[in-house]
A = this chain, B = another copy of it.
Amino acid sequence: MLTRQRKSLILERLKADGQIVAKGFALETGLSEDTIRRDLRELAGEGLLQRVHGGALPASPAVADLSKRQHIATDGKAAIGRAAAAMVRPGQFVFLDGGTTTAQLARRLPHDLKATVVTHSPSIAVELAHHPHVTVELIGGRLFKHSMVSVGVAALEAIRRIRPDVYFMGVTGVHEDYGLTTGDPEEAAIKRAICELAAETVVLASHEKLGAVSPCIVVPLSHVSSIIAEGPMPAKLDARLQDLKVGIVTV
């Protein structure tokens, strides 16, 4: 990777996330920490960003407006995204769910990854536009604005035609008895369909989802291959997952 590209990548990320963590960024990009640190120092010298211990912040503190702050995902979601991104193998055919956590995943995919990503979320698609070697396949349908995903029969029909290697699913509840749940019945149906077609299903769950239950059941826990969760797993849920031989990754 060329120096210039690296630097613009850093600035881009900085604008998107509102921060850069030197070590994390080095890991994501596969570059050495030294190089990243050097770049950060130089960019700071040019006044393009503000160097801080551990990473960097945008040069102008004005960027800290409220709308952007909302977009800054919690550290937990970022960590989940990073862990999930690391699971994607080159050449795979991946289905990405909608939601802020999966958006983090999309952003964290290695910059040089060659793969095909299918999604029913326009915001995820926009996110993936920056990845030069990722082919994006968009699932159409009626847009459910709350979650920013396509739903309805058109979406279902399009989904039925694909067989993803792995489905990264976002949910609002992961419960030992009720399984995976979400708030909208249409969305639940779509998730269910994808889950049944995908060879593997990986669930991304930030802390508040663990042990929680939402109105609509997606699938029981037995349909899940792995779960990437934030923080400590509640004992009951953990036991249940172990029982079902579901892979557990905590970040």
Interface residues of A (CB under 8 A from B): 2-5, 17-19, 21, 50, 52-55, 57, 65-67, 120, 122-123, 125-126, 128-130, 132, 135-143, 145, 148, 150, 154-155, 158
Contacts and interface: CB of A to CB of B under 8 A. Distances in A.
B129 A126 contact: no
B140 A150 contact: yes
18 contacts: A2-B54, A2-B57, A4-B50, A5-B57, A65-B130, A66-B129, A122-B123, A122-B125, A123-B126, A126-B126, A128-B143, A129-B143, A129-B145, A137-B154, A138-B150, A140-B154, A140-B155, A154-B158
Give how many copies assemble into the complex: 2
A18 B9 CA distance: 13
Nearest to A136: B143
A148 B123 contact: no
Nearest to A17: B132
A68 to B, nearest CB: 9
A135 B139 contact: no
Contacts of A5: 19, 57
Contacts of A135: 142-143
A10 to B, nearest CB: 15
Contact of A138 (B19, B50, B143): B143
A126 B140 contact: no
A139 B141 CA distance: 6
Contact of A52 (B4, B123, B143, B145): B4
Given A2-B57, A65-B130, A129-B65, A140 B123 contact: no
Interface centre among A17, A55, A140, A141 (most CB of B within 10 A): A140
Contacts of A130: 65
Contact of A137 (B123, B137, B138, B141): B141
Given A2-B52, A126-B148, A148-B129, A138 B141 contact: yes
Contacts of A21: 2
Contacts of A123: 122, 126
Nearest to A159: B140
Contacts of A2: 19, 21, 52-55, 57
A53 B3 contact: yes
Contacts of A128: 143
Nearest to A56: B2
Nearest to A53: B3
